[in-house]
Amino acid sequence: MAEIQKPSVPARARRSLMGAALTLGCAAAAAAALIALNADNAPETLGVFFSGPWSSTWFLGNTLDSIALLLTASLGAVLAFRCGLFNLGGEGQIYLGGLAATALLVSSPSLPDTPLLCAAALAALLAGGCMGGISGALKERFNVNELITSFLLSAALTPLADYCISGPLRDHTGSLLASPRFIQARRLPLLLPPSALSLSFILALILVVLLFVFIHKTGPGYRFRIAGSAPVFARYGVIRVERLWFPSLFASGALHGLAGFFAVAGTYGMCHLGFPGGLGWNAIAVALIAKNHPLALIPSALVYGWLKAGSDAAMITTNLGVETSSLIQAVVLLLATVQFKARKI
């Protein structure tokens, strides 16, 4: 009997990249069509939509910075997906991670700046990880659906974060519902001032490579993949699938929490009310577009971030309505669920 060969990692990566390219290409075409139908001055609006995110140092840096946040959060979504789980609490994990980092950055004036930044990053990792870990522990111990518990835990703790930001941590010298601004030494180094692009972009790319190596080149990563794609076969191969649920969701939550740290310590330089702004949901879309392949996250996040930044730029500089900008993002989310397959020749 002929041996059935499993597709190699490069072949799977090519398929993931092709699927991401088709999805994002269709999304860009749909976005252009929506703008042409809704804008009063379609040529001008289309020009801003396609070139706006790259038209200046400020726009370019801010676009790349938003992509760094997308990459980090989508890594958390991918890690859960590859183990056969669905972390629906990313939004709250980002929020609580950023809040935990902020609590250290504004309340520890005696610590040196660099160790304090590292401690804040660790606090964000632990805050997000504990939220994800609770869902993992409940699933492992009582087989409670992690989709429900992760979402409910996120929804329950979000008002607590709102209270802390608008209450104990608020900067009362200003009118914003936000913490005091961090001094520059307690922020991630900027790479392209005056934009918000910071060291988080490089760190996000490193994390992508590390996750790829973990999933595709290590024994624990192989067990994660098998547990997610073929749990019955994994149990037949003496892999305790249930033992992987907690570490998977803990690590997923930790990466979301790290995205929160990147947002407050890099992008904003403070923690303001509702700062995730849908980042957790957008990260799920990027992971789905990339078909859960770590390397495919880079082009997926790049184009998704460009589409969002382009629609926002068109909304700001032209008369494109808020509804059209939201509809463009909704089209991308819808197309993220479409499975494109190449026809066999």
The DSSP secondary structure of 266-320, one letter per residue, reads IIISS-BTTTTTTHHHHHHHHHHHTTT-TTTHHHHHHHHHHHHHHHHHHHHHS--
Q: Evaluate whether 318 touches 39 at the Cβ level (below 8 Å).
A: yes
pLDDT of residue 331: 72
Q: For residues 115 and 119, what is the distance between their CA atoms, to the nearest angstrom?
A: 6
Is the link from the previous residue into 231 a cis peptide, with omega within 30 of 0?
no
User: What's this model's pTM, rounded to 2 decimal places?
Assistant: 0.89
Burial class of residue 185 (count of CB atoms within 10 Å of its CB; 0-12, 13-18, 19+): exposed
pLDDT of residue 54: 77
Counting DSSP H helices and E strands in the chain, the numbers are: 13, 0
pLDDT of residue 13: 60
Please list the pLDDT of the chain residue by residue as tens digits (345 residues). Answer: 344 444 455 666 666 567 667 776 777 787 778 777 777 777 877 787 777 777 788 888 998 999 999 999 999 999 999 999 999 999 999 999 999 999 999 987 777 889 999 999 999 999 999 999 999 999 999 999 999 999 999 999 999 999 999 999 999 888 899 999 999 889 999 999 989 999 999 999 999 999 999 999 999 999 989 999 888 888 888 888 999 999 999 999 999 999 999 999 999 999 999 999 899 998 998 898 888 989 989 988 988 888 777 777 777 766 666 666 667 667 766 766 665 554 444
pLDDT of residue 325: 64
Burial class of residue 114 (count of CB atoms within 10 Å of its CB; 0-12, 13-18, 19+): exposed
pLDDT of residue 2: 41
